[in-house]
Amino acid sequence: MSNIESLSLEHRSFPPSESVVKQARISGMADYHQLCTKAAEDYKGFWANLARQHLFWHKPFTRTLDETHAPFYTWFDDGELNASVNCLDKHMGTPVQNKTAIIFEADDGKVTHITYQQLLERVCQFANALKAHGVHQGDRVIIYMPMSIEGVIAMQACARIGAIHSVVFAGFSANALHERMVDTEAVAVITASHQHRGGKILPLKTIVDEALSLGHCDAVQHVFVYQRSETPCPLTPKRDKTFADILANQPNTCEPVIVNAEHPLFILYTSGSTGKPKGIQHATAGFLLWAKLTMDWVFDMRPEDIFWCTADIGWITGHTYIAYGPLAAGATQVIFEGTPSYPHAGRFWEMIERHRCSIFYTAPTAIRSLIKASEAHPEVHPAHYDLSSLRLLGSVGEPINPEAWMWYYQHVGGKRCPIVDTFWQTETGGAVISPLPGATPLVPGSCTLPLPGILASIVDETGHTVPHGTGGMLVFEKPWPALARTIWRNPERYQLAYFPASLGGHRYLAGDSAVRRPDNGYFCMIGRMDDVLNVSGHRLGTMEIESALVALTELVAEAAVVACPDPLTGEAICAFVVLKGAYPSDHEAKQIAVRLREGVTQNIGAIAKPKYIYFGESLPKTRSGKIMRRLLRNIAKGESITQDTSTLENPDILAQFDRVY
Ligand code: WTA
């Protein structure tokens, strides 16, 4: 074993190979540092140049950054543009016009190609249909769609007419959908009759009907339905129309609505530590600039690349790296309807081989589950597929453990593909801390360094930077164009949640704890500091799950939810429940656990179902009535309680949580 191999994984460094460096846009750390220096010397000039270079402006901007109303920053705010022009029209008359924009692979394996010109025409038709139904600039439109070309068309069509889309993940329940319809006061919902996943056909439109029946969404005038399968779905006359109906006779050209740079492009709901999900609002120009720029920097996009991001359009990754970034970059991308394990756990590798993908971007949870599957069924190991087309791998959504990183590097990337471990959030609009494939030496388990123009630090509660090697809170010192502008109709919450006065009021607080490596200053993410869980890369608030449990009023008196580490999903949901009735027998507890999981699925979605449920007669609380979550976390992890429990109202209480369902 060579010296380097005997080092523990976290201490091994993988510099980019000479051939990778030679071809890269940003090649070598000197290039990276030069860009960082440029940003430091003239921050506004740095961003202004990039915005002129990477975006097509109908009216050029003269102001770059306005900090007058900090932390409500604005960028390029006297400029005007249109997002769909920047993703589609700009390619017309170039070699990209007839290039494949999307290779869509359906759950059953059927493949559809669409070129940039065809995509533009279909976006225009859809935009015309929206206009014909009275959807205007600034109106909110809910998109509740499966992974499909149509989903991307719907998003781009909204952008074309300046309507603000709010995509809701199709795994969310009617309640969660309803909450978003009401909060956005949406005028229309775009959905599909069904979704096809893992060989199953699941109704989708009926969930929209159920959400609408919950009331308070009178603003919704129209429901547009993509008929995904032959199976009919119920349509309410006047309100509901199929895509076929609304698109018939619509011309395939549509004048784009030119909007101000700061016009909201979309609202995307995400979980926070308190209360309801937050409607994160992004601005057109800033978001789009970062989507395009990070395609160039992080993925080092080249004309011949076949890019595949496995995220869903219901999450931010699907916004930035499916619906906008790849199109703005003129890339060919794969969109997949199904799941990684159907019809077998080699599906991802088979698809990379079939479509000759060169860049593959997925989540650690998927990697870990495929490692497990290939251990149980060696025939689905990546070694059985031709993955020679790959040149770059990416990871997103949660920390990637060094072992999974190494497997990904060796078995999927054939030890030749750099892995970009991209740290970011719904709020940051795109990757903010990430390796650059042609420059950054990689260290498994570290997202390495901030991208040029991004000023990240790790601070203590008083706002002072902590030394390398010491954990602290991740903050961003300066705003950048893609940072979310506000929380939809709730600026106070935006300011409170992200720009705490204790840190000076102007630094963006990410909500994650992190540490910088003493040897090279690389960032390593530790996890959320707030009550946000990360289950399979999906972000969920403990409060939301607790509310869903307590909503089962006939059963539940009180509930507390904490995370416990899980080898597959990163974190697992662990619920501590106090029932209204008597302490249940083993048999009753099993039945109640089933009902609680059903309740959460109905209230939020299956992704929020607790994996573990404990029942008790009361929750451990301090004398002042605060739930001691720290202790619950210990129990969830199976750790013995070694800390001082004297502040507990009733120290004996911990013994009761001895059965888990
Ligand atoms: C976590 C997803 C470690 C983090 C793009 C963050 C990560 C939350 C990474 C945002 C990474 C995302 N390494 N942790 N590479 N990427 N996270 O808003 O806790 O769904 O705050 O955005 O995911 O989740 P969100």
Whether pLDDT at 642 is above 80:
no
Residue closest to 446 by CA, chosen among 11, 29, 15, 6: 11
How many whole angstroms from 534 Cα to the centroid of ligand 1?
Answer: 8
Find the mean pLDDT for residues 614-637.
87
Whether pLDDT at 132 is above 50:
yes
pLDDT at residue number 497: 95
457-514 pLDDT tens trace: 999 999 999 999 999 999 999 999 999 999 999 999 999 999 999 999 999 999 999 9
How many whole angstroms from 396 Cα to the centroid of ligand 1?
Answer: 7
User: Quick one: which atom of ligand 1 is closest to the CA of 539?
Assistant: 20
| Percentage, residues of the chain above pLDDT 70 | 98
Find the mean pLDDT for residues 39-59.
98
In this structure, which residue's CA is closest to atom 12 in ligand 1? 397
Whether the CB of 398 sits within 6 Å of ligand 1: yes
Whether the CB of 299 sits within 6 Å of ligand 1: no
Residue with tokens 């720029």: 293
**Parallel, antiparallel or unpaired: strands 359-362 and 392-396:** parallel
Whether pLDDT at 373 is above 50:
yes
- Concatenated DSSP letters for 292-348? HHHHHHTS---TT-EEEE---TTSHHHIIIIIIHHHHTT-EEEEE-S-TTSS-TTHH
How many whole angstroms from 382 Cα to the centroid of ligand 1?
Answer: 26
Find the mean pLDDT for residues 575-587.
91
User: Six-digit token pair at 380?
Assistant: 């689905």
Q: Tell me the pTM.
A: 0.95
pLDDT at residue number 438: 97
User: d(Cα 357, Cα 94) in Å, to the nearest integer?
Assistant: 23
User: d(Cα 155, Cα 166) in Å, to the nearest integer?
Assistant: 9
Cis peptide before 256 (omega within 30 of 0): no
pLDDT at residue number 315: 97
User: d(Cα 103, Cα 150) in Å, to the nearest integer?
Assistant: 12
**Least confidently predicted of 5-14, 303-312, 342-351:** 5-14
pLDDT band at 5 (very low <50, low <70, confident <90, very high): very low
pLDDT at residue number 624: 78
* Residue 155 and residue 141 in contact, taking contact as beta carbons nearer than 8 Å: no
User: Six-digit token pair at 295?
Assistant: 């395609």
Find the mean pLDDT for residues 449-463.
97
518-533 pLDDT tens trace: 999 999 999 898 889 9
* Residue 535 and residue 525 in contact, taking contact as beta carbons nearer than 8 Å: no
Find the mean pLDDT for residues 312-338.
98
Angle subtended at Cα 550 by Cα 637 and Cα 659, rounded to the nearest 5 degrees: 35
pLDDT at residue number 7: 60
How many whole angstroms from 425 Cα to the centroid of ligand 1?
Answer: 5
Helix 43-54 and helix 29-41, axial crossing angle in degrees, nearest 10: 110
E strands, 168-261, are 188-192, 194-197, 200-203, 222-226, 240-242, 259-260
406-436 pLDDT tens trace: 999 999 999 999 999 999 999 999 999 999 9
